[in-house]
Amino acid sequence: MKNITNDVWVFIEQRNGHAADVSYELLSKGRKLADSMNGTLKAVIIGSNVKHLATQVFGYGTDEALLIDNPALKDYLTVPYARVLDKMIKEYTPRIVLFGATIIGRDLAPRVASSTKSGLTADCTDLQISDVTYLKQNYEKLLLQIRPAFGGNIIATIITPDNPTQMATVREGVMEMAPIAYPHDVKITEIPYIPDPMDELVKIIEQHMEGSKVNLKNAPIIVAGGYGLGTKENFNQVIELAKVIGADVAGSRAAVDAGFVTPDRQVGQTGVTVRPKLYIAVGISGAIQHRAGMQESNKIIAINNDPDAPIFDVAHYGIVGDAMDVIPVFIEVFKNKLK
């Protein structure tokens, strides 16, 4: 095996010079991982005119920024970005490389893992450093890559025991963004971009951003409905409750599949991950696929007629009853108390 470093790298995903929230979330987690293996945290910034990002990352615990700044890298394209990363990883052999499990992260990470022959685990919901005994061999300070698997019915812990570099993509919103009080002095290492004809094979013709009206990630209160509601008409009660208490509406995957609510409002492993002040789950059984997206909420109220529904495991308050009976009572009492 090549000489092993203790470097933790985070790919900083940016569009038009704005870094994605998930990149700061990953830096915050990466700081903890680096600390538990006495390593350094490095932010990898690829783009054009993105030097300002290289200073911003220090607010989240970065020790060093690796900057590849070139007009040819202005917009994300798979091949040039993957080539740049591939070359850097082969040269510096980081121990861990983290990407957001965004569309860009899920496009880029596997390409880079393939060319560097690294292990890659998709859509992690937790990362830890631990000594591991695997097949009677002892490994020090491996990255435990924890993710739901099999449609969210099991939680798997994946390791990459024998490769110098361990890679993972991590779900947005799962790790907490933690600005630090005393940032490291800014230290930027600029790395040149060397063009290659392969970079020209794909070109962007047009780009459309649909200003998403739905922003569940920042909603302080969410009322979510599940398949247990039975009909779209019943789901309207959930929407009514949300309106009355000033909440955003969300749904489980089953509710989205049933057409009760639009896909951009899906909370869970294959939807959005949220951590609001209050999450009210109505008629949601609480499959891990859903819980993975909401269990970090500050307070959770579960309303379900099945007292054994797993949603009650993560709830702070449980109301056993038919949603169609409970919601009107909730609305009435709320209106009386807060008029």
Binders in 239-298 for other proteins, by CB under 8 A: 245, 269-270, 277-278, 287-288, 298
Instruction: State which of residues 48, 93, 157, 180 lies at the interface with other proteins (CB under 8 A).
Output: 157
Q: Is 212 helix (H, G, I), strand (E, B) or coil?
A: coil
| Cβ nearer to other proteins, comparing 150 with 236 | 150
Residues 33-92 that bind other proteins (CB under 8 A): 78-79, 82
CB of 63 to other proteins, least distance (A): 26
CB of 336 to other proteins, least distance (A): 8
Which range touches other proteins (CB under 8 A), out of 63-71, 91-99, 235-243, 323-331? Answer: 323-331
CB of 206 to other proteins, least distance (A): 4
Residues 184-203 that bind other proteins (CB under 8 A): 198, 201-203
Phi/psi of residue 158, nearest 5 degrees: -110, 140
- Exposed, middle or buried by CB within 10 Å (0-12, 13-18, 19+), for 66? buried
- How far apart CA 117 and CA 19 sit, in angstroms, is 27
Instruction: State which of residues 119, 126, 177, 230 lies at the interface with other proteins (CB under 8 A).
Output: 119
Is residue 170 within 8 Å of 26, Cβ to Cβ?
yes
If one asks whether residue 149 binds other proteins (CB under 8 A), the answer comes out as yes
Instruction: State which of residues 111, 141, 184, 275 lies at the interface with other proteins (CB under 8 A).
Output: 111
Write the single-letter amino acid at 18.
Answer: H
Query: Number of residues in contact with other proteins, rule: CB under 8 A?
Result: 89
CB of 210 to other proteins, least distance (A): 5
| Cβ nearer to other proteins, comparing 185 with 210 | 210
Phi/psi of residue 193, nearest 5 degrees: -100, 125
CB of 12 to other proteins, least distance (A): 14
| Cβ nearer to other proteins, comparing 177 with 324 | 324
Q: What is the CA radius of gyration of the chain?
A: 22
Map residues 203-242 to x or -, x wherever contact with other proteins holds by CB under 8 A.
xxxxxxxx-x-------xx---------------------
Instruction: State which of residues 59, 87, 107, 184 lies at the interface with other proteins (CB under 8 A).
Output: 107
Which residues, in sequence order, are bridge partners of residue 223? Answer: 249, 280
User: What is the DSSP code (8-state) at residue 65?
Assistant: E
- How far apart CA 297 and CA 285 sit, in angstroms, is 17
What are the C-alpha distances in Å from 329 to residues 162, 215, 236, 250?
58, 28, 15, 21
- How far apart CA 275 and CA 298 sit, in angstroms, is 7
Q: Is 33 helix (H, G, I), strand (E, B) or coil?
A: helix
If one asks whether residue 20 binds other proteins (CB under 8 A), the answer comes out as yes
